[in-house]
Homo-oligomer: A and B are copies of this chain.
Amino acid sequence: MQSLTSTSHIDSRRLLLLDQAAACFRRLGYQAATVRDVAGALGMTTGGIYAHYGSKEALLVAVYTRGVEQIYEHVQAALARSAPKGPDRLRAALTAHVEFLLSGGDYAQVVIRVMPDEAPEAVRAELIRLRDRYEAVFTAIVKDLRLKRGIDRRVFRLLVLGALNSTQRWYSKRGLTPSQIAGCLFAMLGSAIEETS
């Protein structure tokens, strides 16, 4: 299993900083979160942030990168234990995706919550690239699926991920668990997918 990106060697101070940035971006969105919010959460002043990251944008890219990396690895780990293709593989991927999205911390949530078009121009393309690379996993899985006639593979993928990503807006620990939600979606999709013979 190969890493998609590499944010590995950041010392622990930087990591704590990034954690808080992720928390702020997740809670407030990129625009509404201020550098001071992040600094405040760390007991620092805003100036201090800039010793580690050169701009608010850079923070977002770092969070985003890490979020993609994390969820990617989580999904890959699940896939390693799953069939090489077919509905079970999709199920494994979707379940892992939604599990990590809802319970995996702030990083992955930022990836879903912050749409590239609310990020500054300068980094927009980078965010899209990161996210597309991740979603390629699903593109690949869907490609190996036998779908009912009339179902466009791309639209299928986008709708399914759209459905799961929307859970972020209403998921609560008091309701169904993430994997129950994935199960529910999969149950709904039953007829969309012909069983492999």
A contacts, CB < 8 Å to B: 28-29, 31-32, 115, 117-118, 148, 150-152, 154-156, 158-167, 169-170, 175-176, 181, 183-185, 187-192
Known: A159-B166, A166-B165, A190-B191. A184 touches B32 (CB 8 A): no
Taking A160-B163, A191-B191 as known contacts, 12 extra A-B pairs with beta carbons closer than 8 A to each other, sorted by chain A number, are A29-B31, A29-B118, A148-B188, A151-B187, A155-B181, A155-B184, A158-B167, A159-B185, A162-B164, A162-B165, A163-B166, A190-B191
Known: A29-B118, A32-B31. A188 touches B159 (CB 8 A): yes
Specify which chain B residues have a CB less than 8 angstroms from the CB of A164 in the assembled complex: 159, 162
Copies, count: 4
Interchain CA distance A191-B151 in the complex, whole Å: 14
Within 8 Å by CB of A156, from B118, B150, B184, lies: B184
B155 touches A118 (CB 8 A): no
Enumerate the 10 nearest inter-chain pairs by beta-carbon distance, A residue then B residue, closest first. A162-B166, A191-B191, A190-B191, A188-B192, A163-B163, A159-B163, A31-B31, A162-B163, A155-B184, A29-B118
Within 8 Å by CB of A188, from B31, B165, B183, B189, lies: B189
Interchain CA distance A165-B163 in the complex, whole Å: 9
